[in-house]
Amino acid sequence: MLQVLVSRKVLVADGICSFELQSLDGSPLPQFSAGAHIDVHTPAGVTRQYSLCNHPEERHRYLIGVLKDPQSRGGSQAMHEQLEQGQTLTISEPRNLFPLAAEGKKHLLFAGGIGITPMLAMAYELSQRGVDFELHYSFRANASAAFLDVLNEAPFASQVKLYNNAAAPAAMLDAPAVLATPETGVHLYVCGPIGYMEYVLNSAAAQGWPAEQTHREFFSAAPVEHDGDQPFEVELAKSGQTFHIPADRTVFEVLDEAGIEIETSCEQGICGSCVTRVLQGTPDHRDQFMTDKEHAANDRFTPCCSRSKSPRLVLDL
Ligand code: FES
């Protein structure tokens, strides 16, 4: 955990604030790579993940963009309403669960709304490395688009395509056209609201893009139906302990209460921090982090939200 200073807070678009964070003593912050996020302990008492959007080369600051989400459990609202310039904040060191593919010869970055944040850092890094890329940025209206000024002035401005959804339909992203030809070595990355991500990812799948070349980062989990949830048993292979998981509790909650450590972050199946190996049994996958192929393998699952189709799961814990 790190204590940092909020050195700057700016309203960068309707409902979006950027926060610049610096170390308390002016020393360099831990290094990060494009696509990384930090866990932020918000003034509401809940932890939220925010992508770092400044140039990964910078060590004097972290920059995050926070969309005030009235549907959220209060984290983003508290960031907007209670956190001010000059205050301190507790954050984690950066972690990257959405990295650029090192082998990519070209990268297509798709950002919807606040999904621009990890893409900005990716664009800075790719531009500096001289690697070919395009950034496709869709937003509801100019007023709600964060970092337009930064993009217009960036050294890679000519590689950015802007889609204002409030303009004529012809101005909107035509994902099937942009993704018409899958190519070896070209990787695509998507981040934004669920509907936007599904549009881009489904278009990519329909045009034959291999799953290994598509990368995504969700900001919030899709709604999950809990009505049919059943209890099941979890056995920990290393200790031999067995736990009963009631229908209304998660594997993580039960194990955490028993003092079994599992790393978590989002606790809603989108970040991948808690992925755990499954040795026996069939998980009922509820996350959006793993791909369909990874789900079908049934050898890993996310205990923060996923359940079991079999009466017992044996975990590599
Ligand atoms: S904690 Fe994020 S996927 Fe489980």
Confirm whether 2-91 and 232-315 share one CATH topology.
no
How far apart are alpha carbons 53 and 63 in whole angstroms? 6
Residue 299 has pLDDT above 90, yes or no: yes
- Cβ of 218 closer than 6 Å to ligand 1, yes or no, is no
**Average pLDDT rounded to a whole number, residues 248-266:** 93
- Cβ of 274 closer than 6 Å to ligand 1, yes or no, is yes
Q: How far is the CA of 87 from the centre of ligand 1 (A)?
A: 29
Q: Which of 305, 306, 307, 315 to mutate to test the pocket of ligand 1 (most atoms within 8 A of CB)?
A: 305
Percent of the chain with pLDDT strictly greater than 90:
81
Q: How far is the CA of 252 from the centre of ligand 1 (A)?
A: 10
Q: How far is the CA of 300 from the centre of ligand 1 (A)?
A: 12
Q: Where are the domains of the chain?
A: 2-91, 106-218, 232-315
Please tell me the pTM assigned to this model. Answer: 0.84
In which band, very low, low, confident or very high, does the pLDDT at 288 lie, cut at 50, 70 and 90? Answer: confident
Q: How far is the CA of 264 from the centre of ligand 1 (A)?
A: 5
Domain 106-218 CATH class label: alpha beta
As its CATH architecture, domain 232-315 has: Roll (3.10)
**Average pLDDT rounded to a whole number, residues 201-213:** 95
Residue 24 has pLDDT above 90, yes or no: yes
Residue 15 has pLDDT above 90, yes or no: yes
Residue 71 has pLDDT above 80, yes or no: no
Q: Of all protein residues, whose CA lies closest to atom 3 belonging to ligand 1?
A: 269
Atom of ligand 1 nearest to the CA of 287: 3
Percent of the chain with pLDDT strictly greater than 70:
98
Q: How far is the CA of 86 from the centre of ligand 1 (A)?
A: 31
CATH superfamily of 2-91: Translation factors (2.40.30.10)
Residue 272 has pLDDT above 90, yes or no: no
Residue 192 has pLDDT above 80, yes or no: yes
The string over 48-87, giving b where at least 16 C-beta atoms fall within 10 Å of a residue's C-beta and e elsewhere, is: bbbbbbbbbebeebbbbbbbbbeebebbbbbbbeebeeee
Of 54-58, 106-110, 149-153, 292-296, give the lowest mean pLDDT range: 292-296
Q: How far is the CA of 289 from the centre of ligand 1 (A)?
A: 8
- Between strands 186-192 and 283-284, the pairing is unpaired
Task: For the chain, give the mean pLDDT.
Answer: 93
Atom of ligand 1 nearest to the CA of 267: 1
How far apart are alpha carbons 286 and 87 in whole angstroms? 37
Residue 130 near residue 41, CB atoms below 8 Å: no
Residue predicted with more confidence, 222 or 149: 149
